[in-house]
Structure 1
Amino acid sequence: MAILILVLLSLIAISVPIAMALGMAALIVLQERSIPLIAIPQVVFESLDSFTLMALPLYVLAGHLMTAGGIATRLVEFAKALVSWVRGGLTAAVVLTSMLFATISGSSAATAAAIGSMLIPQMERQRYPRAFSAAVTASSAELGVIIPPSVAMIVYGVTTGTSITELFLAGFLPGLMIAGSLMATVIAMSWVKSYGERQSFFMPDWSRAVLRSMGRAWASLLMPVLILGGIFGGIFTATEAAGIAVFYALFLGLFVYRELSFRQLPQIVAQAAVTSAVVMIIVAFAAMFGFSLHLLRAPQAIGALLTSMTDDPLVFLLLVNVFLLIVGMFMETFAAIIILGPILVPIARAYGIEATHFGIIMIVNLAVGMVTPPVGVNLFIACGIARVSMEKLMRPLSVLLLVLIVNLLIITYVPGISLALIR
């Protein structure tokens, strides 16, 4: 097993794409065990032959349609009308918009790209430092995989056999808690540092602005109600909800807002296809890597190691959190879930930890990895939009990372936050 891990890390270190690194490392185990290479396509296609996994490309497509069709713009306007009057309100609007967009897109990277491209230039015009604006965008975009519907939750559910509906329910309160703490933090930082422009507050003007923006955004705000209400009400599955999200986004963009044209659709579909293909390839070869770990009895070995270190579930959770924080710094989220989920979930169950609660811990933890160098995808997106180096980003980001880690610890040791809506 040590050779397998060493080969994988070596390939990643020399910049081999993660999917290829997973497949090549697994190939070594197959050769060593004299297993016919026909096992590779069998495992790969079996891992992708899942009705539930069909939701992944559909949610990706829905996210692209929302960005191009004016849905994201109206969510931004609504969030700005609610909170932009206070000093730091525009950064709070970034967090609030990320939360609203997350209820539809299911993707952290899509949230960072959509919200950042619209609000980072506005924050710059209101005298917010670029590094601070990028840090707020990157950290709040992690809500895209925590608040349902979440592509990461779908991958975790498929990989570990956990109910996706329960995972969606479990993600609500942690997502709201993280969003609320981030909003409070960015407002406090803006007050302390005198960032942004302070605006006067007059209740009648504020009420009119909120009602006006709500009137423009009501159809967009109805989308998460339609999708999540249908899932939790048992009307349709998470995969069917993804298809409905695509058609609803298409209908709004083409016929209601009329910001989307039929001429744009081939390009949007092509972009969504490329994004989905990248994730699906990682899913496929991560399944191959997981098959190799199974051949080496890695889950049993890791489980024995952890149980020999401690029989206390609280200490186990602490060890897992530290381990996942390190993994999230270097490994893509979906690959980490597919590789580690089947290994860690049985061990967590042995400690009496529910798979749904453990899934939220794992997803929140790896979501923090999207905001940490050197492989934090949200950081690269936000830095590119803000035209700022990652080094300058780290100082304001460190405060927000501390807030995220405190939230992670609360979610870890207070399972009722995740399980309240399920029980």
Structure 2
Amino acid sequence: MTDPSTLVTLISIAVTLLFMLGVPVFLVIGYWVIGVSFVLGMPLQNIGGALADVFTDGFALLAMPLFILTGDLINRSGIARRLSDFAYACLGWIRGGLAMASLGACGLFAAISGSNSATTATIGSMLHPEMVKGGYDERFSAATAAAGGTVGIIIPPSIIFIVYGFLLNLPISDLFVAGIIPGALMVGAMMFAAFLICFSNKWGILIALSPMRVFKTAIGAWLGFFAIGLVLWGIYTGKFSPTEAAGVTVGFCVIVGFISLPLYKMMGGAKGRDVSEKRVSEMLVVEGFSPLELPSITMRSAQITGILAPLIAVSVVMQQILSVLGAQELIGNFVTSMGGYYAVLFTSMAIVFVCGMVLESLPVTIILAPILAPIAHEVGVEPVQFAVIFLVGASIGFITPPYGLNLYVASGVTGVPYFRLLRYTVPYLVALLSVWFIVALVPELSTALLPNR
């Protein structure tokens, strides 16, 4: 009889080949889970039960549909458009300004949605056509949206921070505050990478820097700033949970969308907008929506949720099987054997990076955080700082193949094939990895804003 470990290895090689042939990652992971379950003698009903538990008991997944719906509503209501207008007014005078504005808009959007996939989907669907019209390579434009979405789980509010805090018994408010500076650094580093790429390729249409335009777009984006303030105020003051915050934001965006449509029509549609001075943004999206359009918007969000939720669920089941195989004990013993502060820290980072390449951030957090955080604490790593280090690393996994969830989302909303995005993700990966190591080496970046520090 063939040794079970050999069969698990063969199954792993087989599903890897399937992925290379273009089989969807959900099916790849699903085939691995089913195959290994047979090898280990686990009844298949356990898989169904585990999947059901993820959907019914998974705290983070309860908020995911609302956050995704928030992203679509922010887009259709005109809030995301006005935030991007403000970012472009501030950065459009620089070579690659629209690409940098897309990344800035991702940061602002992340402060409302708390979701990497929603950030990528909204900014990608909205600004990708404009970047292509502005002379940017379509692959670079799609990769920019994917990279910008990585800050969705770092800039507060963030569902993953909540999950991490719950698992490790850390104050959620401290984790949120700790993510502000690293999130801003991630956006800044990606902007610099975009500038270098665009400067070398002479991409983008430049506009003159106008303080008046910056002021006008800031006034126009006040609803977006209000939405950001509403979410942060509600969570920080304890008025409502993050899931409730998503519901409140959905209600706010619905009201704004209903009001925006008649105002948009009264102003003559796009003719009433400022399109002077060769403005790249051509207002292709009508601002606002009617009550009759709300079901179709909700359906689109449900479709995205239907793609992401099973992928997350089957990843959790995969992690459970890995636990049965002894992966948790193996990882714990390996990291502990490293010894000193930096050895444990960098080994933990390497493990998070590798796991993030093949799994979604939620199961990576669920399985690895309880193992690695206590070990890091024993060697002197501040718990809140390690939380930020862990989750910044997990966020980088959103644009690292073969999994790269944001790459799949960007590919879906822009129509650019997955493998064609990979070339232009490399500069963003370098930028994010640089920030990651800086955050790891400088604890004050995570703890400076915390109270009583």
TM range (shorter): 0.7 to 0.9
Q: 1:233 to 1:3 in 2, by over 3 A?
A: farther
Return 5+ residue gaps in structure 1 as ranges: none
Q: Distance in 1 between matches of 2:305 and 2:393?
A: 23
| Bigger Cα displacement from structure 2, 164-173 vs 334-343 | 334-343
Partner-residue secondary structure (3-state), 1:341: helix
The residue type equivalent to 1:225 in the other structure is G
1:215 is matched with: 219
TM superposition shift of 1:78:
1.5
2:370 equivalent to 1:356: no
Q: Identify the match of residue 203 of structure 2 among 187, 195, 213.
A: 195
Q: 1:22 to 1:223 in 2, by over 3 A?
A: farther
8 A contact 1:165–1:238 mirrored in 2: no
8 A contact 2:113–2:119 mirrored in 1: yes
Q: Distance in 1 between matches of 2:443 and 2:311?
A: 30
Q: 1:18 to 1:75 in 2, by over 3 A?
A: farther
Q: 1:190 to 1:76 in 2, by over 3 A?
A: same
TM superposition shift of 1:229:
1.7
Q: Distance in 1 between matches of 2:404 and 2:295?
A: 30
Q: 1:10 to 1:336 in 2, by over 3 A?
A: farther
Deviations 1:55-83 (A, max 9, x none): 33322221222122222111111211121
2:406 is matched with: 378
The residue type equivalent to 1:246 in the other structure is V
Q: Identify the match of residue 167 of structure 1 among 166, 169, 175.
A: 175
Q: Identify the match of residue 267 of structure 1 among 296, 304, 318.
A: 296
Which structure 2 residues correspond to residues 331-346 of structure 1 after superposition, within 5 A?
331-346=359-374
Q: Distance in 2 between matches of 1:277 and 1:199?
A: 41
Q: 1:41 to 1:393 in 2, by over 3 A?
A: closer
Partner-residue secondary structure (3-state), 1:77: helix
The size of the alignment, in residue pairs, is 416
2:30 is matched with: 20
8 A contact 1:145–1:152 mirrored in 2: yes
Partner-residue secondary structure (3-state), 1:370: helix
Deviations 1:228-264 (A, max 9, x none): 1221123322222122111111121123455122212
TM superposition shift of 1:395:
4.4
Q: Distance in 2 between matches of 1:182 and 1:280?
A: 28
TM superposition shift of 1:46:
7.6
| Bigger Cα displacement from structure 2, 247-256 vs 341-350 | 341-350
1:225 is matched with: 229
2:186 is matched with: 178
Q: Distance in 2 between matches of 1:222 and 1:8?
A: 51
8 A contact 1:109–1:381 mirrored in 2: yes
The residue type equivalent to 2:211 in the other structure is S
TM superposition shift of 1:98:
0.8
Deviations 1:80-122 (A, max 9, x none): 1121122221111111111111111222222222212222222
Q: Distance in 2 between matches of 1:74 and 1:220?
A: 8
8 A contact 2:335–2:348 mirrored in 1: no
Q: Distance in 2 between matches of 1:155 and 1:37?
A: 27
8 A contact 2:328–2:367 mirrored in 1: no
Q: Distance in 1 between matches of 2:382 and 2:35?
A: 31
Q: Distance in 1 between matches of 2:31 and 2:76?
A: 34
Q: Distance in 2 between matches of 1:52 and 1:110?
A: 14
TM superposition shift of 1:398:
2.2
8 A contact 2:60–2:159 mirrored in 1: no
Q: Identify the match of residue 85 of structure 2 among 77, 80, 86.
A: 77
TM superposition shift of 1:179:
0.9
The residue type equivalent to 2:68 in the other structure is V
Compute the RMSD of aligned alpha carbons: 3.3
Q: Distance in 2 between matches of 1:374 and 1:42?
A: 24
The share of aligned pairs that are identical, in percent, is 33
Partner-residue secondary structure (3-state), 2:175: helix
Q: 1:67 to 1:7 in 2, by over 3 A?
A: farther
Q: Distance in 1 between matches of 2:417 and 2:55?
A: 38
1:246 is matched with: 250
2:273 is matched with: none
2:24 equivalent to 1:41: no
Which structure 2 residues correspond to residues 99-178 of structure 1 after superposition, within 5 A?
99-178=107-186
8 A contact 1:44–1:287 mirrored in 2: no
The residue type equivalent to 1:59 in the other structure is F
Partner-residue secondary structure (3-state), 1:408: helix
Q: Identify the match of residue 397 of structure 1 among 425, 428, 431.
A: 425
Q: Distance in 2 between matches of 1:61 and 1:421?
A: 31
Q: Identify the match of residue 334 of structure 2 among 293, 296, 305.
A: 305
8 A contact 1:30–1:36 mirrored in 2: no
TM superposition shift of 1:31:
3.8
TM superposition shift of 1:146:
1.8
Calculate the TM-score normalised by the size of structure 2: 0.80
| Bigger Cα displacement from structure 2, 278-287 vs 371-380 | 278-287
Q: Identify the match of residue 58 of structure 1 among 66, 72, 83.
A: 66
1:410 is matched with: 438
Q: Distance in 2 between matches of 1:361 and 1:316?
A: 13
Partner-residue secondary structure (3-state), 1:17: helix
Q: Distance in 1 between matches of 2:393 and 2:99?
A: 23
2:345 is matched with: 317
The residue type equivalent to 1:314 in the other structure is Y
| Bigger Cα displacement from structure 2, 399-408 vs 44-53 | 44-53
Calculate the TM-score normalised by the size of structure 1: 0.85
Q: Distance in 1 between matches of 2:352 and 2:59?
A: 28
Q: 1:326 to 1:214 in 2, by over 3 A?
A: same
Q: Distance in 2 between matches of 1:157 and 1:11?
A: 37
Partner-residue secondary structure (3-state), 2:399: coil
Q: Distance in 2 between matches of 1:97 and 1:200?
A: 20
Q: Distance in 2 between matches of 1:375 and 1:3?
A: 24
Identify which of structures 1 and 2 has the higher relative contact order when contacts are C-alpha pairs closer than 8 Å and 6+ apart.
1
Q: Distance in 1 between matches of 2:344 and 2:5?
A: 22
